[in-house]
């Protein structure tokens, strides 16, 4: 039998997951606007921007395992790069 405290915590986690999904949806809409503003497919990967993002999260991760935040952001960046390639319509 599952501990009642664990069930309560899992409900909180589910609520956080719902919030994260909404944030990802909003981020995707912004990425769609970015895609429309890029002229060439070669512009999709911006290594300087990626470096800035990773530095920014490094300075903001207080009381969080740094490996977790780095892996999450790298994964998210790669997922959105893939999304941009799949949705880029210009030549």
Helices (H), 1-91: 4-37, 47-60, 66-87
DSSP state of 63: T
Residue 89's contacts (CB-CB under 8 Å, 6 or more residues apart) are: none
- Calculate the average pLDDT of the chain: 93
Query: How does pLDDT run across 28-61, given as a tens digit for each residue?
Result: 999 999 999 999 999 999 999 999 999 988 877 6
pLDDT the model gives residue 91: 52
pLDDT the model gives residue 49: 94
pLDDT at residue 2 tops 90: no
List the end-to-end C-alpha distance of the chain, in Å, as a whole number. 57
62 contacts 46 by C-beta, under 8 angstroms: no
Per-residue pLDDT, averaged over 60-65, amounts to: 80
Which residue's entry shows tokens 């899992």? Answer: 10
pLDDT at residue 71 tops 80: yes
């Amino acid at each position: 039998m599952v501990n009642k405290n664990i069930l309560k915590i899992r409900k909180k986690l589910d609520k956080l997951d719902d919030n994260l999904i909404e944030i990802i949806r909003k981020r995707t809409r912004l990425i769609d606007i970015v895609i429309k503003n890029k002229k060439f497919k070669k512009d999709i990967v911006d290594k300087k921007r990626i470096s800035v993002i990773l530095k920014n999260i490094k300075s903001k991760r207080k009381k969080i395992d740094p490996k977790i935040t780095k892996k999450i952001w790298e994964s998210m960046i790669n997922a959105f790069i893939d999304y941009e390639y799949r949705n880029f319509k210009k030549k």
